[in-house]
Amino acid sequence: MKLSDRDIKALTFDLFGTVLDLGGSLSPFIEKFLQAKGAKCSPEDFWAGWRARQRIEQYQDSLFMLPHAGYLATSRRALVYVLAVLGIETLEGEVDELMASWQQLNPFPDVPASLSRLSKRFRLVALSNGDPEFLEHLVKNRIQWNFDHIFSVTKVGRFKPHPAVYRSAAVELGVEPGECCMISSNSFDVVGARLGGYRAVYVNRYHTPVEEAPVGPDAVVADFSELADLIA
């Protein structure tokens, strides 16, 4: 399927792990922390555990249907959980210091030029699990790209891939779901968007498969440069 043949008006971008290089940005801070603690766990393994637990925390946040905790809150819970699993004790303030590293996230190198190419044809929208103020900081100071719109899941009170997120974003944008294309390196995000009526491109930055699901991506690319070559 050629997405260029589709009547797509808006590209909705996942930020965490798709636009922003989480592992590459956070690993130096994690490594410094682990070295100070004399921990034997590698920064890569620590990050993998933290990221996996964060997703569980987000799923639970949506499933329990309690007041929405927010992205950074679930990330902090995940960090505390992983520290406990590894038996790493922390002093007062050390968890907060490690959480502060999230403010220093950097975009992947291929992002700026590719967004510039894509902006000539589509509306570019950040559609993220992040908290509004956190997203504003990241977009302005870290990504440094003026998206046409920023949509935070806090408006819905559920994390992606809850279908209400994608539908609400389309309504706010004033377009039909089928006129939106989700761009994500998270396969659950691709499936959720497709089930919400979106088109979707899986940016397979981590060489991981898409989950078995009733729907899949319309296209798979390696990075944003390939994405721009495909549809710009």
Write out pLDDT tens, residues 58-79.
999 999 988 999 999 999 999 9
pLDDT at 2: 56
Look up residue 57 and give its amino acid: E
Reading the block at residue 4, the tokens are 């260029």
Write out pLDDT tens, residues 160-190.
999 999 999 999 999 999 999 999 999 999 9
Arithmetic mean of pLDDT over the chain: 95
pTM metric for this prediction? 0.95
Bridge partners, 182 (sequence order): 12, 200
The vertex-145 CA angle with 69 and 12, nearest 5°, equals 60
Strands 10-13 and 106-107: unpaired
